[in-house]
Each structure stands twice: as structure tokens, then as C-alpha cells.
């Protein structure tokens, strides 16, 4: 029962984030919404693991937690430089 409530709350959050991703207006709103969707997906995987009594879902959630960060950073880097191979030394000068 309690996991059903948690799953419902997470799905509501999912829907809100999808609406924000569709509305924009800037690319950063969309990236933020994508990041939120990612975290919500992790939580949904964990809760579904409990609902279905299959703890293997947690492993997928762990992998997704790592992918979510890398994905967000890669997308941000792409929109800043238009190039994922941009070197670190080009950035050092201004920090």
C-alpha cells in the first residue's frame, strides 16, 4: 500500500517534469526536466522493485543513477561548446 502511494507520487512528478520539458522555454529548462525525470525514474525503479518483490530492479536503478549524471554533463557540454571532445585546458584559464 505505501509503495503504491510512493509510486503514484513519483508518476505525478514524472508527468509534471514531462510537461516542463515540452514547454521549455530554454534548453536549460529541458535539461533540468530531463535530470528530474532521470531521478524520478531511479526512484520508480526502486519502488517497483519492492512492489513486484524483485530486488533486481535496484541494480538497474544504480546504473541509471550513474548514467543520469554523465548524460546531463554531456548534454550541457554539447550545448556550451558544440563538441564533446573539448579539452580541459581550454577552460582552465577563466576559472
Query: Which parts of this chain interact with other proteins (CB under 8 A)?
Result: 2-3, 5-6, 8-10, 12-17, 19-20, 25-29, 31-33, 35-36, 39-40, 42-43, 46-47, 50, 55, 58-59, 61-62, 65-66, 68-69, 72-73, 76, 79-80, 93-95
Q: How far is the CB of 16 from other proteins (least distance, A)?
A: 4
d(CA 59, CA 45): 9
Identify which of 86, 72, 14 has the alpha carbon closest to the alpha carbon of residue 43. Answer: 14
- Contact predicate 29/52, CB 8 Å: no
Q: How far is the CB of 2 from other proteins (least distance, A)?
A: 5
Cβ proximity to other proteins: between 35 and 85 the closer is 35
Cβ proximity to other proteins: between 8 and 52 the closer is 8
CA dihedral over 11, 13, 19, 24, signed as positive or negative: negative
Amino acid at each position: 500500500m505505501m509503495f503504491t502511494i510512493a509510486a503514484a507520487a513519483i508518476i505525478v512528478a514524472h508527468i509534471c517534469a514531462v510537461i516542463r520539458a515540452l514547454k521549455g522555454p530554454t534548453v536549460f529548462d529541458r535539461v533540468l526536466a530531463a535530470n528530474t525525470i532521470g531521478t524520478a525514474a531511479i526512484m520508480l525503479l526502486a519502488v517497483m522493485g519492492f512492489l513486484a518483490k524483485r530486488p533486481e530492479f535496484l541494480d538497474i536503478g544504480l546504473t541509471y543513477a550513474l548514467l543520469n549524471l554523465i548524460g546531463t554533463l554531456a548534454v550541457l557540454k554539447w550545448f556550451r561548446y558544440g563538441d564533446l571532445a573539448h579539452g580541459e585546458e581550454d577552460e582552465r584559464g577563466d576559472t
